[in-house]
Structure 1
Amino acid sequence: MFTMAKLRDGSTYLEGHLTANDYYAEKESVTGRWVGQAAERLGLAGRAISAEDGAFERLRCNLHPLTGRRLTARTGEGRIAFLDFQCSAPKSVSLLAVTFGDERLRQAHHEAVSVAFAELERFAARRVRGGKAAWSEQIAFTGNLCAARFEHDASRALDAQLHTHLVTANATFDAKADRWFALTEREMLSAVRYAGKVYQNELAHRVLAAGYQIESARNDRGVIEGFEIVGVTAADRVVASKRRAQIEREIAAFEKKHGRAPTTKEIHGITTRTRSSKLAEITTAEVRNRQRGDFTPERLQALEALVTSARNARPAAAAPDGERNALREARDHLFERASVQRGHEIIAEALNQSLGTVSLERLKEKLTAGHAADCVALKDGPDCLRSDYATRAGLQQELDAIHFVNAGRNLYTPLCWTAFQPDRRLSGDQRNAVKTLLESTDRVCALRGIAGTGKTFTLQEVRRGIVVSGGTVIACAPTTSAAGVLRADGFINATTLADLLKNAESLHGQKLHAATLIVDEAGIASARQGAELCDLVRRHDARLILVGDSRQHSGVEAGDFLSILERHSQLQTAELTDIRRQTAHEYRAAVKLMAQGQARAGVETVDRLGWLNETGADYIQRAADHYVTSLAEKRDVILVAPTWEEINRLTEVVRAGLKKRELLGHGETVSVAEPLSWTKAQAAKAVNYRPGYLLTLHGALPAAGLRAGETVEVVAVKRGRLLVRSASGQKNSVAPARQAEKWTVA
């Protein structure tokens, strides 16, 4: 896979690292090569790079390597000189290529890196700074890079680690402007997974052609991350990963100290800090002997036999029509939770699902044609990789919803057609909203209000007006918690949107006819749920009120139903804008700014109140200490974190703090099954499961003798089916392809 580090100085990087292969041997050095389309323009492409290369030094100083003139506009202290892209081979490939001498695998890595870097080069870009774009994020793609390429085969711990450095000069040529500019790495970073998957796929092709077999490498959540060579065991890979073990020990120490996992930047810092600045003085022959000496005689013999067997084996035949199937799997996985995807994201996932069995160019052709994956480019462009795509089915759902709203305009009598006096406590803002909704003659209307404007009180009066006119109100919300809030606020029959869509007839029967359905927090509803909701309203000649703010948050599933209607339909919307929850003027202004999408201005306003406290890497410990102290002093306090990882870390630190202050007694250890958050496409594939996974059923499987609510353990995976064991010890077989919608995987 590809990683990237920024080099701001780099004055010793060429001689001290790139030409030395992570260890020093007298009379031994690594020779690099200049690569990339920008290298060709600079007259460097293909030229060898030694430890005292003048072109490298000039580019480091932002000078043209041949003329010595300044290359890009900015030259000064703190300037980024190079972007060091590093591409590493899977450990099993490194081990067999380096320690056991299969030069074919070295060549395979070399060729795969070449293909992948050429793909990454497509995303080279520079920022547009002129005119109205001076302070914008506008970019111009240039598609050319100049990189110093060096192949290394060892880590600082002298493990076998085949990897390539592509030390890329911070300059790219814009043909339209006819001048050099500094790079913006944003687009390349967005496509770094794509480049990594291209590398893995090209490498896998060549590994298979060399006579080896491969198997998917998965993380602890069952997600494919790459591949390894069959026959190189996990224990073998651990033996050859002393450097990785060192880094992981440091990461564990960081987590213990700070109460959280390190960021990508912090991991890079740990890697750099733990790397010995002094290279080991040792010859290549001695390195190989050390590497072999880490293995038992039995494993040495087995791995040597594996290489010999591969040399004599016939490569496996490619699967027919693999590209079509790979794109379909990528579509099903990606578009479940996002309605729009970049082309490179689709291709990357298609490659990930079928490493070594699909052609990159054929994937691009089929995606561009739009026949293989039911994907449509939203705008014509020169490159499928940089185009945005949606599915035809998703687009049709959105168009149908827009038509449904527009076709229902002015078709009905007002929601409240009798004399009705709203509650006198309503503000003018709320009173206008109630009037707008109750006088609506549309099939679908909406109530939008930012947080703190009193939507609940307003909604209660809307319901009262409808009931006064003899109407029926049925309320729901996308989440269980939001439905609970509705019930507490007087909407006794409120349920979740999913429950209503599935069980509307059994829950409400004839009451559905001509009823008014109120959907709170409608901004979370997906496009699929919106389509089903429209169909339910149509079948029962009902009315629909959508309540929420599409600017606040959206759901997990693909599509933003409410936002689409607000932007593209004739949806009649009553809006609440007067914030009533926050009474302090400046605080209220800050909340209003953030609700309007002006996050920076809102945060700056809060900061002026002195309410923000920024801390360093130990922010979780500091937040937990503040929370515990506030509880001990009986002050109101709420602790919020953006990710589950941080929530879990905070909980651990808070519990420790509460116990230390004797505010919490001794607890009891309970095992909790943490959901893997798989998509339906992932859950439907038996190969993704492993023994020990838990399935919690939310639907009964009578044929297998399993009840809803029961949790079973996966015992074995065979021929597309799972052998599971219940708490009572009974074993049953289930088929994910047909039944995965009945359970959650943990």
Structure 2
Amino acid sequence: MLSFHSIGAGADAAGAAQYYEDLAREDYYTAGGEPPGKWIGKFAQVLNLGDQQVKKGQLIEAFSGFDPATGKPLARNAGPMHKPGYDLTFSAPKSVSVIWATADQATRNAISAAQQKAVEAAIAHAEKIGAFVQRCGHGGIERIPHGELLAATFEHSSSRNGDVQLHTHAIVPNLAANGKTVDFDARHKMELGAYYRTQLATALREMGFGIERDRASFSVSGVPDVLTREQSTRSQEIAEYLNRLGLDANSKAGAAFKMDTRRTKGEVSRAEIFRRASEAAERHDFDPAAIRSGHPEVKLWNEQHFTAEVFAQASTLTATQLRAAGYVYSQDKDADPEAHIQRLIEAGELVELVDTQTGEARWTSREMLEIERGLGAAAKKLSAMCLEQDGERLAEISQAHKLSAEQASAFAHITASRYAAVQGVAGAGKSRMVGAARELWEAQGRRVIATAIAAKAARGLADGSGIEESSTLDGLLLKLENEAEQLDKNTVIVVDEAGMVGSRKMARLLLAVEQSGAELKLIGDPRQLQPIDAGGAFRTMIAQAGAAQINTVVRQQSERDRQIVADLAVGQTEKALAAMRAAHMIHAHDDAEIARREVAAQTIADLSIGKSAIVMTGTRREAFQVNQTARDMARAAGQITGPDVAFKNAAGDWRHMAQGERV
């Protein structure tokens, strides 16, 4: 894992320098502390510091903008308020730390060497790809890649709680030969972390350890999960504390908290850390030598599998995202991901797309490109298949349903051809318009099916428009492909929240519609909800076949509320928030826990009188916290009854449900 934070000037820089330098000792194993630091990077070579030990006092010199060796100013604003630099922390997977702490000394030394080599490779890679930049132009908007870094690496052995955790701090001072500021471009964080893990995994595999993918990271085969969990109490403690504060562990405030707590860690006794880890290993009958073999299993790179995995959740990727995906995929493989990606490019399996307005380049797969092109072509073809319309009948139904001129126009559009799309903001009365269309379709003897990615959305469309049949899109596709459901020329499928439908699913649905002669109607707003799966199907189909627009908000009763919704829909967030503050629609609390309890209480109060309530949070953690608080309140109010049923979700986390809860 790679985490980073910016080191603040003044006391923060002085404290960081003292922390790293005070822990560093030549006799660290017997006298406590950690190994001495080491200077690395191209700029370290320029300053004649390359591969040298970090000496006491050098870090604060570098943080203040001076040459660590000579004391001469390097930065234009050298002094105590100079921006110090960054701490990039490369943490080995917990299974690696467990082996490192419990193995014999030779193996431990070999793992330490592999860790240092992987970190040095990652810093060299940062120089190669321009992960650090210097800014120029108006407001520093232009980023110029900076390829000469000075970095001080410090290997540390434990967490604040004394759990074994092999990690290396790569301290990158804000220094450059031209005296300008050097900034870390956080867009490259995932790539650097993945590159480091790939380098480390390769070295461990060469030592005879088996490597298994573990989501974006990896683990060493044969290390018991119970042992790694036992050695992770600091992570659990931080998560619990940040939960109470309402902070994200990856946020700047969360990173600052973790850094502050590490500074109070105090003396480190590696011998004691290793002793405790070895005792834990013995309790769980774990012997690191037993899982080491001369010929660990090595998986092969599968180009088709790689592209399918990479573009499962996003239809396009930036260059750094693509490279990061390649490194993640190769962690358990003996492969050169850059070479494989280059072969895919040369074979036309990866395609570069360039935004003609911004010049930004992104990458997609040939399969995804063909799917989306096919969707656009099919939508255009079906939209040209016009249906007979009775103008008087349309006007009669529009009047009966009290449609606005905008809604009536969309009603005429959606009933005019085999394929049609309606794009509109939330609260614009799209369901009312679909209700009018449903009346016309049923009068013509047609069967209407409401569907959406979420069951709630499908039911909402059906209830709001009077459609009798509703189904999730996954359920409908499964029935169609198992021949449990049949479409024909008298079937009309209405997809709500179409912007959430990924390209692959949309292609499967469109194929069934084309083959059966059915009609397809898409409702939604591509600006409002993003696809769950990869692709911009709805946006592509609108671009090729057009869409009727319903943008006048009618759900809100007052003009003020309608304007707020309209402003939010077009990205005028500041304007909308200002209006909401003026109307006392926003309530602020100094304490995150009080805010969560208030949100939970209001949610339960709304549900108790039959209102619907949606809680939106900045992170999944916060959503879980509010849900747990609301569950406790709902159970106390009798809205939830009976025993909890435990289950594990897709992320591997345990959740509980009881009678009366809604999924």
Q: TM-score, normalised by structure 2?
A: 0.80
SS in 1 for 2:557: coil
Contact 2:425 2:566 in 1 (8 A): yes
Q: Aligned pair 1:147/2:144, yes or no?
A: no
1:369 to 318, 323, 343: 343
Q: Which residue of 2 aligns with 1:126?
A: 133
Whole-angstrom distance in 1 between the partners of 2:350 and 2:56: 50
1:297 to partner: Cα distance: 12
SS in 2 for 1:431: helix
Tell me, which stretches of 5 or more residues in structure 1 are unaligned? 679-689, 694-746
1:238 to partner: Cα distance: 6.9
Whole-angstrom distance in 1 between the partners of 2:542 and 2:387: 23
Whole-angstrom distance in 2 between the partners of 1:656 and 1:293: 38
Whole-angstrom distance in 2 between the partners of 1:631 and 1:558: 35
Aligned partner letter, 1:427: S
1:397 to partner: Cα distance: 0.9
Q: Which residue of 2 aligns with 1:670?
A: 644
SS in 2 for 1:491: coil
Whole-angstrom distance in 2 between the partners of 1:467 and 1:296: 73
1:376 to partner: Cα distance: 0.9
Rate the CA distance shift 1:376–1:453 in 2: closer, same or farther, 3 A: same
Deviation digits for residues 676-707 of structure 1, max 9, x if unmatched? 169xxxxxxxxxxx9x99xxxxxxxxxxxxxx
Aligned partner letter, 1:606: M
Q: Aligned pair 1:460/2:444, yes or no?
A: no
1:517 to partner: Cα distance: 3.7
Q: Which residue of 1 aligns with 2:168?
A: 164
Rate the CA distance shift 1:377–1:43 in 2: closer, same or farther, 3 A: farther
1:333-348 superposed matches below 5 A: 333-348=309-324
Contact 1:124 1:144 in 2 (8 A): no
Rate the CA distance shift 1:159–1:548 in 2: closer, same or farther, 3 A: closer
Aligned partner letter, 1:108: A
1:529 to 493, 505, 516: 505
SS in 2 for 1:370: helix
Whole-angstrom distance in 2 between the partners of 1:317 and 1:632: 56
Rate the CA distance shift 1:197–1:323 in 2: closer, same or farther, 3 A: farther
Whole-angstrom distance in 1 between the partners of 2:267 and 2:224: 28
1:34 to 36, 39, 43: 39
Rate the CA distance shift 1:613–1:208 in 2: closer, same or farther, 3 A: same
Whole-angstrom distance in 2 between the partners of 1:501 and 1:633: 36
Whole-angstrom distance in 1 between the partners of 2:153 and 2:295: 32
1:277 to 231, 239, 264: 264
Q: Which residue of 2 aligns with 1:686?
A: none
Q: Which residue of 2 aligns with 1:292?
A: 275
1:483-632 superposed matches below 5 A: 483-488=458-463, 489-503=465-479, 512-513=488-489, 515-567=491-543, 569=544, 571-615=545-589, 616-618=591-593, 620-624=595-599, 626-627=601-602
1:161-560 superposed matches below 5 A: 161-171=165-175, 180-189=180-189, 191=190, 194-210=191-207, 212-216=208-212, 218=214, 223=215, 225-228=217-220, 230=222, 241=231, 244-246=232-234, 248-249=236-237, 251-252=239-240, 255=243, 257=244, 265=252, 267-275=254-262, 277=264, 279-280=266-267, 287-288=270-271, 291-292=274-275, 295=278, 299=282, 315-316=294-295, 319=298, 322-325=299-302, 327-353=303-329, 355=331, 357-359=333-335, 362-370=336-344, 375-379=349-353, 388-408=362-382, 410-416=384-390, 419-422=393-396, 423-424=398-399, 425-438=402-415, 440=416, 442-466=417-441, 470=444, 472=446, 474-478=448-452, 479-488=454-463, 489-503=465-479, 512-513=488-489, 515-560=491-536
Contact 1:430 1:576 in 2 (8 A): yes
Whole-angstrom distance in 2 between the partners of 1:113 and 1:632: 52
Whole-angstrom distance in 2 between the partners of 1:357 and 1:658: 49
1:371 to partner: Cα distance: 6.9
Rate the CA distance shift 1:101–1:457 in 2: closer, same or farther, 3 A: closer
Whole-angstrom distance in 2 between the partners of 1:486 and 1:531: 22
Whole-angstrom distance in 1 between the partners of 2:603 and 2:490: 53
1:166 to partner: Cα distance: 0.8
Rate the CA distance shift 1:260–1:629 in 2: closer, same or farther, 3 A: farther
Whole-angstrom distance in 1 between the partners of 2:301 and 2:88: 31
**What RMSD in Å do the two structures reach over aligned CA positions?**
4.4
Whole-angstrom distance in 1 between the partners of 2:162 and 2:426: 57
Whole-angstrom distance in 2 between the partners of 1:74 and 1:566: 55
Contact 1:444 1:572 in 2 (8 A): no
1:105 to partner: Cα distance: 2.3
Contact 2:194 2:217 in 1 (8 A): no
Rate the CA distance shift 1:124–1:612 in 2: closer, same or farther, 3 A: same
Contact 1:328 1:373 in 2 (8 A): no
Whole-angstrom distance in 1 between the partners of 2:213 and 2:381: 52
User: Which stretch has the larger CA shift, 582-591 or 410-419?
Assistant: 410-419
Q: Which residue of 1 aligns with 2:75?
A: 71
Contact 1:98 1:162 in 2 (8 A): no
Equivalent pairs counted in the alignment come to 633
Contact 1:216 1:224 in 2 (8 A): no
1:503 to partner: Cα distance: 4.1
Whole-angstrom distance in 2 between the partners of 1:351 and 1:168: 23
Q: Which residue of 2 aligns with 1:699?
A: none
1:113 to 96, 103, 119: 119
SS in 1 for 2:218: strand
Whole-angstrom distance in 2 between the partners of 1:416 and 1:516: 18
Aligned partner letter, 1:596: V
SS in 1 for 2:90: strand
Deviation digits for residues 554-600 of structure 1, max 9, x if unmatched? 33222121111223x1x232111211111222222111011123334
Contact 1:203 1:356 in 2 (8 A): no
SS in 1 for 2:14: coil
1:363 to partner: Cα distance: 1.4
Contact 1:99 1:288 in 2 (8 A): no
Q: Aligned pair 1:52/2:57, yes or no?
A: yes
Deviation digits for residues 364-386 of structure 1, max 9, x if unmatched? 111122179984132489xxxx9
Whole-angstrom distance in 1 between the partners of 2:427 and 2:229: 55
Contact 1:366 1:372 in 2 (8 A): no
Rate the CA distance shift 1:62–1:261 in 2: closer, same or farther, 3 A: closer
Aligned partner letter, 1:368: Q
Tell me, which stretches of 5 or more residues in structure 2 are unaligned? 656-663
Q: TM-score, normalised by structure 1?
A: 0.72
1:331 to partner: Cα distance: 2.9
1:203 to partner: Cα distance: 2.4
Rate the CA distance shift 1:184–1:86 in 2: closer, same or farther, 3 A: closer
1:85 to partner: Cα distance: 1.0
Whole-angstrom distance in 2 between the partners of 1:127 and 1:566: 40
Aligned partner letter, 1:601: K
